[in-house]
C-alpha cells in the first residue's frame, strides 16, 4: 500500500514544525552569541527576554504539534504573535537578518496551523 500512513505527519504541520525548529535554534543562537557579544541595544533585557520567549514558544509549539494535541492551534497562534514581536525587535539591529527571516517564516507557518 502506497501513500500516507496513519503515523505520518501532515505536510503542512511538518512544514510548521520545521519552521519552528529553525526559529528556535536561530533565536537561541543569536541571543546567546551575537546579541550578548554585540552588547548595547542587542543585549537590552527586553530584547533578550523576547528572543528567549520566542525560542521557548517555538519549542512548545513543536511539542504540541508532534503529539497532535488538540491545543496546538492556540499554541501556534501565540507562537505566531511572539515570533512577529521578536522579528520587529530584531529588525532595527545590525546582523539580525537571519533571526528576522526565521521569525517571519515561523509566524506565517504558525498562522496556517492556527487557522
pLDDT, tens only, 49-58: 999 999 999 9
Q: What is the pLDDT of residue 113?
A: 95
* pLDDT higher than 80, residue 6: no
Residue 45 included in any domain = yes
Q: CB within 8 A of 10, min separation 6: which ones?
A: none
* pLDDT higher than 80, residue 98: yes
Domain that holds residue 15: 11-114
Is residue 80 a contact partner of residue 110, using CB atoms and an 8 Å limit? yes
Residue 20 included in any domain = yes
What average pLDDT does the segment 36-41 reach? 96
What's the domain count of the chain?
Answer: 1
Residue 86 included in any domain = yes
Q: What is the pLDDT of residue 59?
A: 98
Q: What percent of the chain has pLDDT over 70?
A: 95
Helix %, strand %, coil % of the chain (to 5):
80, 0, 20
Instruction: State pTM to two decimals.
Output: 0.91
Amino acid at each position: 500500500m502506497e501513500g500516507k500512513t496513519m503515523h505520518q505527519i501532515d505536510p503542512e504541520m511538518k512544514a510548521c514544525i520545521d519552521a519552528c525548529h529553525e526559529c528556535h535554534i536561530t533565536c537561541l543562537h543569536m541571543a546567546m552569541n551575537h546579541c550578548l557579544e554585540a552588547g548595547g541595544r542587542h543585549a537590552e533585557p527586553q530584547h533578550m527576554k523576547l528572543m528567549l520567549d520566542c525560542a521557548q514558544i517555538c519549542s512548545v509549539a513543536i511539542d504540541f504539534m508532534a503529539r497532535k494535541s488538540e491545543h496546538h492551534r492556540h499554541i501556534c497562534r501565540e507562537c505566531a504573535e511572539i515570533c512577529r514581536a521578536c522579528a520587529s525587535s530584531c529588525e532595527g539591529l545590525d546582523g539580525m537578518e537571519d533571526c528576522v527571516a526565521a521569525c517571519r517564516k515561523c509566524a506565517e507557518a504558525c498562522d496556517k496551523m492556527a487557522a
